[in-house]
């Protein structure tokens, strides 16, 4: 029986990993909500790890948010994410836990990276200003894992890093200001339809290009790469560039995305763009060659994923059970 701890199991990514693991045999899933385990408290984390015989840790716990949240709470984003990461990684090593899967974000890459963005682009230029604190925390997490592998790899330490693109799907946050683009648009169009509004305002120009991945695809990638043989993985990574991009392989403009969600929601009004708000990075498409060569590809199309996500949100909205 393998004991697996999911840090952040109530979040969108953590809950997707949990759903995927429930289909596996000979696995015991360990979870703790924040009332029983404060990941910001290293003594609590260490004591928990020492009390359980944990074989693998999926690090899905993080403070996350969209452009507004990142702009408004930069200190929270860098401090909380650094603290959670440091506590888990170091306590895992000191508790003799050999396997960790650390999840970062595509925002780790320079704002003006060549497209699509290869893993080697890390630390080659300036970050997007609106989410720099969060990105720096995630970069530190990658380098923490690599450093522990380099120093303690001979003792069996094997900490791996995946960098997913923009995510959407079940369990997302639909807050008016702190959500990411897809949940934000889904809620805006749905409520505009209910209220017979003449238009929906979208922040920015609509021109930026973004790549999106359904969270269930990411969960499958997490399990796949956590359990991939080390010798296979090492044919495509290096000690100082060990992270793997996880994405769908194509991007879409925010304007085209808005049209898709407008159509799915049934809203018949106008779309208006407010250029007073920042666009963020002009384009962000990941090079997923490394993941493909290692045997993984996404399965859920954007159209299918958006329809399913909207259907779930609509049901939750009617019952007032969505994350806000």
As averages over each run of 10 residues, the pLDDT of the chain (324 residues) reads: 96 97 94 95 98 97 80 92 98 98 94 94 93 96 98 97 96 81 94 97 94 98 98 96 97 98 97 89 92 98 97 90 70
Q: What is the pLDDT of residue 175?
A: 80
Q: What is the rounded CA–CA span in Å between residue 40 and residue 14?
A: 17
Q: What is the rounded CA–CA span in Å between residue 44 and residue 67?
A: 32
Q: What is the rounded CA–CA span in Å between residue 38 and residue 26?
A: 28
Q: Cβ distance 104 to 243 under 8 Å? A: yes
Q: What is the pLDDT of residue 63?
A: 87
Q: What is the pLDDT of residue 277?
A: 86
For the chain, give the longest Cα–Cα distance: 63
**Structure tokens that stand for 320 in this block:** 């007032």
Annotation says 273 is catalytic: no
Phi, psi of 273, rounded to the nearest 5 degrees: -110, 135
Q: What is the pLDDT of residue 265?
A: 97
Q: What is the pLDDT of residue 321?
A: 75
Question: Which positions ≥6 away from 313 have C-beta within 8 Å?
Answer: 172, 174, 183, 186, 187, 190, 322
Q: What is the pLDDT of residue 202?
A: 93
CATH fold, domain 2-319, is: Rossmann fold (3.40.50)
| Catalytic, out of 68, 93, 109, 134 | 134
Q: Cβ distance 313 to 189 under 8 Å? A: no
Place of tokens 């290692």: 294
Phi, psi of 288, rounded to the nearest 5 degrees: -105, 25
Q: What is the pLDDT of residue 148?
A: 98
Q: What is the pLDDT of residue 280?
A: 75
Q: Indicate the SS3 state at residue 236.
A: coil
């Amino acid at each position: 029986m393998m004991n697996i701890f999911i840090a952040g199991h109530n979040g969108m990514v953590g809950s997707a990993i949990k759903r995927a693991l429930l289909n596996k045999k000979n696995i015991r899933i360990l979870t703790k909500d924040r009332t029983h385990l404060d990941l910001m408290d290293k003594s609590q984390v260490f004591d928990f790890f020492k009390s359980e015989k944990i074989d693998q840790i999926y690090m899905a716990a993080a403070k996350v948010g969209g452009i507004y949240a990142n702009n408004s709470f930069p200190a929270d984003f860098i401090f909380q994410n650094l603290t959670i990461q440091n506590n888990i990684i170091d306590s895992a090593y000191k508790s003799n836990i050999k396997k960790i899967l650390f999840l970062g974000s595509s925002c780790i890459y320079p704002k003006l990276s060549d497209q699509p963005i290869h893993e080697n682009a890390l630390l080659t230029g300036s970050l997007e200003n609106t989410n720099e604190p969060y990105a720096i925390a995630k970069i530190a997490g990658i380098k923490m894992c690599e450093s522990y592998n380099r120093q303690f790899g001979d003792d069996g330490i094997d900490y791996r890093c995946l960098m997913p693109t923009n995510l959407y799907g079940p369990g997302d946050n639909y807050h008016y200001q702190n959500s990411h683009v897809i949940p934000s648009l889904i809620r805006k169009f749905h409520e505009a339809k209910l209220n017979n509004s003449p238009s929906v305002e979208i922040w920015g120009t609509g021109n930026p290009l973004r790549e999106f991945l359904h969270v269930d695809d990411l969960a499958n990638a997490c399990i796949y790469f956590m359990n991939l043989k080390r010798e296979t993985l090492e044919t495509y990574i290096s000690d100082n560039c060990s992270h793997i991009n996880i994405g769908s392989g194509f991007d879409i403009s925010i304007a085209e995305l808005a049209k898709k969600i407008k159509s799915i929601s049934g809203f018949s009004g106008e779309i208006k763009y407010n250029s007073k708000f920042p666009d963020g990075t002009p384009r962000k498409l990941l090079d997923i060659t490394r993941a493909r060569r290692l045997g993984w590809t996404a399965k859920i199309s954007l159209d299918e994923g958006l329809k399913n996500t909207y259907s779930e949100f609509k049901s939750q909205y009617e019952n007032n059970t969505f994350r806000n």
